[in-house]
Amino acid sequence: MNILIPHSWLLEYLETKAPPKKLAECLSLCGPSFESVNRVGADWIYDIEVTTNRVDLMSVMGIAREAAAILPQFGIKARFKPPVLPEITKSSQFKINLTDSNRLCQRIMAVVIDNINLGPSPEKIRRRLEATGMRALNNTIDVTNYVMREIGQPTHVFDYDRLKSKQLILRLSKPGEKIVSLENKSYKLPGGDIVIDDGSGEIIDLPGIIGTANSVITPKTKRALLFLETNDPIKMRQTSMTLGIRTDAATLNEKGVDPELAPIALKRAVQLIKELTGGQVASRVYDIYHKPLKTKTINTPLQLIKERLGIDISNKKITSILAPLGLKSQSQSKDKLLIAIPSWRHKDINISEDIVEEVARIYGYHRLPSEIMATPIPTNYPDENFVLEHQIKTWLAGMGLMELYTNSLINQPLAKMSQFKVTDHLKIKNALSADWLYLRRSLIPSHWQAIKNNPDGKLQFFEIAHVYHPKKNALPQEELQLIISSNQDYLSLKGIVEALLNKLHLEFTFQPQPNQWAKITLGKKTLGEIKTLDQNWVAVLSLKPLLQLSRRYPRYQAISKHPAIIEDLTFTLSEQTYIAPVIATIKKADRLIQQVRLAKVFKPANGAGRHNYTFTLTYQSRRQSLKTTEIAPVRKKIVSRLANKYAAQLVGKI
């Protein structure tokens, strides 16, 4: 997430003389990335990229605290100026009934402010809001946006007089309930969303995301209910993404705002509303805090920090780095620090290594020694062969195939098309779409869909990707597969597979199986299979054993000095006969047979019955030149074996 912050606003929480560009340079080296620093009028505007885990930096106060910790590392004096806010003078004039019986929010705070005079905000407020990308509306609504950007806690104001029952009941929405947002857009809720009900069943707010038109401040408003809550990040994300409402408040809330910010934000908002509108507090301060944060400490060995950083850093230096970040440390012993984690870092600092990271980044990664490893850099990975994997892709692309990248997540219809039950797939709990519901166990359905979506023309695809097989009480087993798919015939696909395996120098065989498919084997090991799916053909091979068994170069075999004898033999065979076993039988007949190739197929006019198959045979000896008299007994052996095994008949005479 990127936020925009004016330099003048930052200086209200940061005491430093660092010029804007120097400040941005230092913080980019050790903290959030300052994407740009632009002069706008008399001010400078920072465009800052904040990582998702650092919601505490999505505010002026958060950036100021970070700057106060980083700038001294560069010899620049800096001090964080925490907000000094007056206590709220309580009243019993007006009341509101807040109910959160299901504990949907961690913390809720509210207060009524009377005698509000609506009007435009001062130029300073308007200018700062517009500089940060927000619209200035009026002096009450502007305060909520101003406090959200300054403190980092989203806030909201209701028109108190429009709350007829003076009740705010937090509950989960029912499927199909509707709201009209303050922008007059209608939304149908999917159900299970956190909403605020006025007690009559009418929804008056979608808390943490967007207000509704039926409770928003109007030009006639004289009395406002200032309201803020610490929301369930998961619920916020689900509702915001489902409805497509991406407000700044939703972006903050889905990342988990610090509940200890609530009283600070409330006091600051009350201070500004009183100052800008002349309003006065007219109720007690309501504060429902279901699960107060407990003190969290981390025991960190000093030696761990020194080993990980590769430097001999003093204990005093470590303590001085952590203190400005709010990480209060005390020596538990000579070798360990007991570090108390502040509320705004409760979510992202959990183990000793997180403390090491904080020391490293504030000290400066650029200051850590850059030393080459004393031992050789590993280049061999026993279970991987990335070079050969890339070569396979290059070969297949050279054969005219197109590489596909299909999604590892599939929908239910595609899961049903695999050879596994839908219930045997891993299901995604927080799926963003029904199309991304299961982790696939087969690549075939995705390629079937690709072919179906491209009905015209000759299609030949390939892909190398993982499939995921569930394992009980463990992460899924990932299997790397190669798939080749085609809308052409079996022989076309088989030829591609043969060409690839020949390039890998594998002595493979195709073993025909029932139901129009074949196993691809290497000795007793199965490498993959070819099968048909809805008139299309696919070959699926398990890639890791393929890479492990393959050879980069062929085995050297000296070329015979003696000439070969080449002849054609034509046999009549049933059209149901698989030719690969026939070729294998011929080759096994004698050692003199060096090569057998199917040359031609002659089909009868009606296309049925027995076909004539012409095989080209190469005979060669390594010891001597062959004579026709030496070939004759080999030929008779071939004819005899094919006749006995396949009822084959030789066309012509021996």
Distance in angstroms (rounded) separating the CA atoms of residues 437 and 426: 9
Q: In this structure, what CATH number is given to the domain that contains residue 611?
A: 3.30.70.380
537 and 621 fall within a common domain: no
Q: 402 or 380, which is more confident?
A: 402
461-516 per-position pLDDT tens digit: 999 999 999 988 888 999 999 999 999 888 889 999 999 999 999 888 888 877 76
Residue 197 domain-assigned (yes or no): yes
Range list of H helices, 351-385: 352-363
Same domain, 328 and 255: no
How does pLDDT run across 248-287, given as a tens digit for each residue? 999 999 999 999 999 999 999 999 999 999 999 999 999 9
Provide the pLDDT for residue 380: 65
Percentage of the chain lying above the pLDDT 90 cut = 74
Q: For 370-459, where are the E strands, in sequence order? A: 402-403, 409-410, 426-427, 438-439
CB-CB contact of 248 with 154 (8 Å): yes
pLDDT of residue 382: 60
Is residue 159 assigned to a domain? yes
pLDDT, average across residues 327-345 = 87
Ordered DSSP codes for 43-76: EEEEEEE--TT-GGGSSHHHHHHHHHHHGGGGT-
Tokens coding 323? 């203190």
Same domain, yes or no, for 396 and 358?
no
Q: How far is CA 239 from the centre of its chain?
A: 19
Say which CATH number the domain at 241 has: 3.50.40.10
pLDDT at position 516, please?
65
Q: What is the rounded CA–CA span in Å between residue 420 and residue 480?
A: 17
Neighbours of 112 (CB within 10 A): 25
**Residue at 314 is within a domain:** yes
Indicate the DSSP class of residue 212. B
Domain boundary among 80, 111, 139: 80
Out of 254, 289, 324, pick the residue that ends a domain. 289
What are the residue ranges of helices labelled H in 254-323? 262-277, 302-309, 315-322
**Claim to verify: residue 445 and residue 472 sit in the same structural domain:** yes
The string of pLDDT tens digits covering residues 581-591 is 899 899 999 99
Helix intervals (H) in 98-232: 123-131, 141-151
pLDDT for residue 3 is more than 80: yes
Query: Does any domain span residue 505?
Result: yes
Tokens of 436: 């991304």
User: What pLDDT is recorded for position 609?
Assistant: 75
pLDDT of 378: 65
In the chain, the percentage of residues whose pLDDT exceeds 70 is 98
18 inside domain: yes
For residue 552, name the pLDDT band (cuts at 50, 70, 90).
Answer: confident
Q: The whole model's pTM is what? A: 0.63
Residues 400 and 475 in one domain: yes
Q: Is residue 341 pLDDT above 70, yes or no?
A: yes
Give residue-wise pLDDT tens across range 366-384: 998 887 767 776 666 666 6
Q: How confident is the model at residue 237 (pLDDT cuts 50, 70, 90)?
A: very high
Question: What is the DSSP code (8-state) at residue 270?
Answer: H
Give me the long-range contacts of 589-595 (CB less than 8 A, separation at least 24). Answer: 589/634, 589/637, 589/638, 589/641, 590/634, 590/637, 592/619, 592/620, 592/621, 592/626, 592/630, 592/631, 592/634, 593/617, 593/618, 593/619, 593/634, 594/564, 594/618, 594/619, 594/620
Q: Per residue in 128-141, pLDDT tens? A: 999 999 999 999 99
Task: Say which residue, 22 or 557, is predicted with more confidence.
Answer: 22
Establish if 87 belongs to a structural domain.
no
CATH number of the domain that residue 362 is part of: 3.30.56.10
Is there a single domain that holds both residue 207 and residue 269? yes
How many independent structural domains does the chain possess? 5
Q: Indicate the pLDDT class of residue 434, thresholds 50, 70 and 90.
A: confident
Domain presence at residue 89: no
Q: Are residues 258 and 405 in the same domain?
A: no
Q: Are residues 39 and 130 in the same domain?
A: no
Count of C-beta atoms within a 10 Å radius of residue 382? 6
DSSP 451-514: HHT--SS--EEEEEEEEEEEETTEEEEEEEEEEEEESS-HHHHHHHHHHHHHHTT---EEEEET
Domain boundary among 549, 579, 604: 549
Strand ranges across the sheet with 203-206? 97-99, 167-172, 194-197, 203-206, 210-211
In a shared domain, residues 106 and 224? yes
Residues 334 and 447 in one domain: no
The predicted pLDDT at position 379 comes to 66
539, 633: one domain? no
Would 374 be classed as within a structural domain? no
**Same domain for 302 and 190:** no
Give me the domain span that covers residue 35.
Answer: 2-80
